[in-house]
Every structure is written in structure tokens, then in C-alpha cells.
Chains A and B, each alone.
Chain A
Amino acid sequence: MEIDRADGRNPNQLRPLSCSRGVLNRAHGSASWAQGSTQVLAAVYGPKAGTKKNENPEKASVEVIWKPKTGQIGKQEKEYEMVLKRTLQSICILTIHPNTTTSVIVQVVHDDGALLPCAINASCAALVDAGIPLKHLAVAICCCLADSGLVMLDPTKLEEEKMKAFVYLVLPNSILSVLPEESSSVKGEQMEQGLITSVTHGVMSVDDYLHCLERGRAATSKMSDFLRRNLQPQLSSDSSKAG
């Protein structure tokens, strides 16, 4: 059953993406990521000396501060901070700078659906801009499930509110290997098949969830192409801003 989306996209179409890096002057790394009307600004400072009391000093730690557009920080913001922190910790190489803290500050500029994936993408781009060593990049996407069972990608705020359930998925970047025969595998499975983070809202059946996962995976290849193209040209001319 075809559902007409308000802005005329088909269910598998993402909103136009735009990413600009190096937007702030004081921060070591910064990026602004926009998906349609949703826009998020992320800044990275680090690595800074010392870790918090409850963090492991033998590894680097990541600290996330989420700033909503208006109002006070509540539980929703704390949850986003936690998800973002765990996601970024899994992509940073934590053994390189032990006993340091990298701060990631996320500012919501406009929220029109798929806010957390937008923030994750922005933070990833900001980390690259700051030159923090990463294992691989992460691309985040939101899939929502309509009552009819149709899976739609990248909903707007109105669509998110109407849907039965939606899930935020963070997947590793698709691999561009110099050696085409070898591909990194983790425990026999392809790395590209992995899933870093998944946050669901609402009730969905297991089949629907796996369906969303497939769709999300297909879309992330497009997003990781965009990310790669966006990040590549400036890498050579970047100078370190830390210190």
C-alpha cells in the first residue's frame, strides 16, 4: 500500500543532506549537519587532560553535552547524551590517548524529525574535523514503521509522531578497501553487516525490525558515499587546531 509522504518523497528516499565542517573558530573540530530541515551543530574539544572520576583512566573517554534548542535539560536530553556517548566510544580508538577526555558538544538548531541520527552524523564529522583517531566512521539513519507495515526512511517530525514505531540505527561506514579481495571480518561475518547502535520507540514485530534493518543498511551505503565525498578533499589541507 502506497503512503504519500507530505513532501513527495518515496518511502526509500532520504531528505537532502548537507554537511559543513570547520564552522566554528575556537573549537578544535566542528561540523554542521542538516537533513532536510533538521539541523544540528556539533563541536569537539580534545583530547583534554584527565578523566572523570568514574571513567577508566587507562583509556581515553568521550564526554557528550547535549544542548536543546530551548528549555532546560531533561531526561530526554540525558538519554540522547548517553546513546551518543556509547556510540562514539565504540568508533574512537580509545587506546591511543589514555587518561584524556574528548568533549563533544551538540547544539540542536532545528528539530524536524530524525534528531538523534542527525546529531550522530554531525558528531562523527566533527570528530574527523578535530583529527581524533577513529576506527571507522558511523552513519545513522531513522526508519519508521507505519500501521500498514510499510517502512519509511528519514521521517519528518509530523511523520514520526504519526507512525506506529520508529528506530534509530547506527551502522558502520561502508568499506572502501584498497585490496578488493580482503575485507575485514569480525568473527566470520562481514564488518559491513554489523550494527553499532539501535534505539527503538514503539512496538514492532521482529520481522518488521529486521526489515527496517535491511532498509537502513541499503540507505547507509548512499550516506557513507556522501560522507566520504564530503570529508575527503579537506583532509590534506587541515592544520591542527588543538592547543
Chain B
Amino acid sequence: MEQRLANTWRMTVNEKKFIESALVSGLRVDGRNVYDYRKLSINFGKEDGSAEVHLGQTRVMGIVTSQLVQPYRDRPNEGTLSIFTEFSPMADPSFEPGRPGEFAVELGRVIDRGLRESRAVDTESLCVLAGKLVWAIRIDLHILDNGGNLVDAANVAALAALSTFRRPECSLGGENGQEVIVHPPEAREPLPLIIHHLPIAVTFAFFSDESTLVVDPTHQEEAVMAGRMTATLNTNGDICAIQKAGGEGVPQSVIMHCLRIAATKAADVTVKIRDTVEAYNTERALRKIKRHSAPVALDVSGTLPNLRKNQVKSEDQREVSGSVGTQVEKLKLMNERKNSDQSNDIEGKVVTKSLEQGGTNSKDGNPRSFIGGPSSWNPYSRGVDSDFLKLSLASRDTSKFSKKQKGSQSEKSTQQASPKGSAEDMKAISPATESAKIASQTHGEKTLKDAVKPKHKRKKKAPSAVDGS
């Protein structure tokens, strides 16, 4: 008992008096205005569904996972959402491991009410087989650093993690459609959750002097405060939850005033969350495209890209990088041979230009510089090797469906084809696949040239299907 008392952090009387008297004049210890939030920053982890939120000194990590379970009896068509809060002992010396204290339970309940009972996450879309199998979404919130106002930070962490979480796609199969097949992320793109609105929690702290209230208290202000209130609202103007558990009594006018402030704060935070999630999603989409074109970037720039991307097979890299120098020469020779067509000349210039640019290794730069290439590349204008053509169309075809498995298979098949053929063939094939993959990159960017292409593809589908498999 004495040990625990010795180890708890207690605020000195001087500090308390200082904070209180500063607040009477509207000054906060960290220099903020009374209604200001601390700096909020959201970072995402490597996996989908993991987010870390920094609200000033407070740090909370949110992780979302999913599992297939049996639904509740009274709701056979709905998935479930459960929130687990971990008050890690690293956040505060007074947090003890083991059973959650009353504050931890209260925090969990406030976030739960805001998210689940306001139906922010669509649970009906989580149903797979009515009455038998549904998705259970589990949110783990780890409090890493207690700098005050854990409720708000944990709420933002939960929302950010839910917004970026992707659950595996599953389909019904079997004899009578009763078997559930869960597709791994490599086979089919996992799906995001349907989130109707973002309930944002805003916490107010009241002090013994009746007119003083602050938004987003730090842990020192929390030690001094006499009462607190958390209002969870969304940008539609709905109040999802209000929590005021005891503490100092507060007049009604103050409560209404707080709700109005909370509405503006909720709007700011919602915009912030939406922006960071957008940025993460575009970065994630770019990452997927990069996986296709990583060998391309290699050819062009001649430098090895970040080797941490597991999807790119090391064999491909080594084989391709070995022939970079010769490829550059080969392409130039090829371009000289195509001098008959004017468009091909342009293509040749564009290709060599981008090859020279390759030193900068800008993966964004490559598709831009190659946009001129595929549109002017007319496979029927010159006497092109039919194998070269089939392989390039095959890899373009398969990557168009953006199935990474097939993409890697075609890479394998083209690479396997090359050692079999003569040295010349290898050099001819790899630049072809390179330009084909570049074409597939432009596919991702959806230019008008796409409208022209399908004609060629349909005709060539038969032989390419034979080759691509």
C-alpha cells in the first residue's frame, strides 16, 4: 500500500494553484487558447487497419482485425463490432497491468456508444451467411502515452483505423451455396468497411471557478479539474453520445455553449481524418501499381529499387538488371530500324529520352514520359516478331485485370522463356515486356488511348491466352 502511494505521481499544491489562477485569466499552461485543440497527427502502420494518433503528447495506437464468427441470436443478419481498450502501463506510472480500472472501462464505453450505437459502421454489410457466419470486427486501442484527453485521441485512432481497414473478400460456394470461401488478399482485393459517418468525441474540463472551461485538457489540467464532459458529434449535426459522469455541477447554458463549440471542433477533426485517410489510400493504390512496375523502373533507371517489397522476386531483378546496359543499346537499335513510321520515330525519341531520364529514378516520371509511346505503337505497321508481340500482349492483358498472381506468373513465364531462347531473343523480349508493362501503367491512369486499345486485345485474346497461361 505504501509502495503504491510512493509510486503515484501527485501534483503539488503550487502547480495546482498556478494552473487554476492562470485559467481565471484565460491562460493555459501550454500557451493555447481556452477552446484550442492540440496538434493532431495521424500516422498509419504498414498493415491495413493500424493507425497511431498523436494529440499533443498523448499517443494512442488503434488496430482493427476481423474474424468470421456466429452472429448473435437476436441479430442474425448483422456483424459485430467490439472495442478493447488497453491502458498500457507505459502510458502512465499509475496504470497497472491486469484488470482495467474504472476509467479504462468508461473510456471503452464512451467510444463504443459513439461508434456502435450510432451505427457509424454498417454492420449489415458484414453478414456473410445469415444466421451462420458474420464478420466480427475487433478494435484494439492501446494507450501508449497519457498526455491528457485520452477519450478524444482514442476515438480518432479507432476511426482512422476503421477507415483504412480492409477485410478479405469472401464468396459463397459449395453445393447449395452454403460454403464460405475466404479469398486471400493476393487473390482478390480486400474490401473496406462501410462507414456512414464519423462520430468525433470532444472533451471539456470544468474547474471549480464556474465560468472556466477548457477544451482538450492536458494531464496536468486533468489533475486539477473538477468535472469533465465528453460530447460525441458528427458533421451532420447529430449528437451521438454525451458523457458527464459526476463531478462539478454545471449550468444548462454552459452545456449548450459546449455543444456548439463541440460542433465546430468535430468539423475540423473530421476534415483532418478524411484528408489523412485519402492520402493513405492514394499512397496504397500507388504502392499496388509500383509492384507491377518495379521491374520496369529497374530497367530504365538501372538502379535497384527498395528491396523491402517482397512481391518482386529477386530472380527477376537480378536477371533484368544484368541486361540493362545491353537493353539500352538494343532499344536504340530497334528504334533506328523502325524509321519508316514517323510515329515510331517519336516513340523512339520518347523512349530514349526517358531512358536517359532514368537516372533520377522517379517512378511517377516514367508513366508521364511514356504516354507518347503506346499510343503510337502500332503492332501491325512493322514486321514484328510474333512471339515478341504475344508475350507483350499477354503480360499487358493479365496485368490489366490487376491480379498480382497472374502478373507474377507472366513475369515468371517471360523470364523462363528468356533463358530458353537465344541471347538475342532475351534482349528483345525484356524490352517488350518493359514497354508492355508501361502500357499497363498508363491503363491505370485511364487516358483516352485506352478507348483505342480494346480492339486489338479482343483479336489477340486467343493466342495470348495460350501464352499467358
A residues sitting closer than 8 Å to B (CB atoms) are 4-9, 15-16, 24-27, 30, 36-37, 41, 43, 45, 48-50, 65, 67, 69-71, 103, 105, 107, 109-110, 156, 158
Distance (whole angstroms) from the CB of A226 to the closest CB of chain B: 18
Pick from B6, B47, B91, B308 the residue with the most CB of A within 10 Å. B308
Complex contact B314–A107 (CB within 8 A)? no
Given A25-B57, A67-B88, A105-B89: A48 and B7 within 8 A (CB)? yes
B144 within 8 A of A: yes
A5 to B, closest residue via Cβ: B314
User: Is B6 touching A8 in the complex (CB atoms < 8 A)?
Assistant: no
Q: Does A25 contact B145, Cβ atoms closer than 8 Å? A: yes
- CB pair A26 B147 closer than 8 Å: yes
Whether B3 pairs with A4 at a CB distance below 8 angstroms is no
- Complex alpha-carbon distance, A43 and B92, angstroms: 10
Give bound CA distance, A9 to B46, whole Å: 20
Judged by a CB distance under 8 angstroms, whether B465 is at the interface is no
Q: How far is the CA of A211 from the CA of B415 in the complex (A)?
A: 36
B245: CB under 8 A from chain A?
A: no
B68 → chain A closest CB, angstroms: 16
A sample of 27 inter-chain contacts (CB < 8 A) reads A7-B308, A7-B309, A8-B314, A16-B308, A24-B59, A24-B144, A25-B145, A26-B145, A26-B146, A27-B90, A36-B308, A37-B308, A41-B90, A43-B90, A48-B3, A50-B2, A50-B6, A50-B7, A65-B88, A67-B86, A70-B140, A71-B140, A105-B90, A107-B61, A107-B142, A107-B144, A110-B47
Question: Which residues of A lie under 8 Å from residue B185 when comparing CB positions?
Answer: none
Measured between beta carbons, the chain B residues less than 8 angstroms from A67 are 86, 88, 90, 142
Find the A residue at minimum CB distance from B309. Answer: A7
List the 5 shortest-distance A-B pairs measured between CB atoms, nearest first: A50-B3, A43-B90, A105-B90, A8-B314, A49-B6
Closest to B47 in A: A110
Task: Pick the residue among A5, A50, A105, A110 that contacts B45 (CB under 8 A).
Answer: A110
Q: Are A7 and B90 closer than 8 Å at their CB atoms? A: no
- A4 contacts B140, C-beta separation under 8 Å: no
Q: How many angstroms from the CA of A49 to the CA of B4 in the assembled complex?
A: 8
**How many pairs of residues, A versus B, come closer than 8 Å at their CB atoms?**
90
A4 to B310, CA, bound (A): 12
Q: B314: which of A7, A41, A109 is its contact (CB, 8 Å)?
A: A7
Q: Chain B residues near A109: list those with CB within 8 A.
A: 45, 61
Main secondary structure of the interface of A (DSSP, over half): loop
Question: With an 8 A cutoff between CB atoms, is B384 at the interface?
Answer: no
- Chain A residues with Cβ below 8 Å from B65 are 70
| B30 CB–A CB distance under 8 Å | no
Q: Which residues of B contact A (CB under 8 A)?
A: 2-3, 6-7, 45-47, 50, 57, 59, 61, 63, 65, 86, 88-93, 97, 138, 140, 142, 144-147, 219, 304, 307-310, 313-315, 317
Residues of chain A contacted by B304 (CB below 8 angstroms)? 8
Instruction: Chain A residues near B63: list those with CB within 8 A.
Output: 69-70
Contacts of B2 in A (CB 8 A): 50
Q: How far is the CB of A121 from chain B (nearest CB, A)?
A: 17
Are A9 and B307 neighbours in the complex by a CB distance under 8 Å? yes
> Which chain A residue has the least Cβ–Cβ distance from B314?
A8
Chain A residues whose CB sits within 8 angstroms of the CB of B7 once the complex forms: 48-50
Q: Which residue of A lies closest to B315 (CB)?
A: A4
A13 CA to B313 CA, complexed, in Å: 17
**Do B45 and A7 touch (CB < 8 A)?**
no
Q: Are B93 and A41 in contact (CB under 8 A)?
A: no
Bound-state CA distance A7–B315 (Å) is: 10
Give bound CA distance, A153 to B274, whole Å. 41
Inter-subunit contact B144/A65 (CB<8 Å) = no
**Given A6-B310, A8-B314, A26-B147, A107:B90 Cβ within 8 A:** yes
CA distance A199 to B455 in the complex (A): 62
Contacts of B59 in A (CB 8 A): 24
By the criterion CB–CB under 8 Å, are B46 and A110 in contact?
A: yes
Of the candidates B6, B86, B147, B307, the one whose C-beta lies within 8 Å of that of A25 is B147
Are B89 and A45 closer than 8 Å at their CB atoms? yes
Which residue of A4, A16, A41, A103 is within 8 Å of B144 (Cβ)? A41
Q: A105, B315: Cβ atoms under 8 Å? A: no
Which single residue of chain B is at the shortest CB-CB distance from A27? B90
- What is the CB-to-nearest-CB distance from A45 to chain B, in angstroms, rounded to a whole number? 5
Contacts of B138 in A (CB 8 A): 70
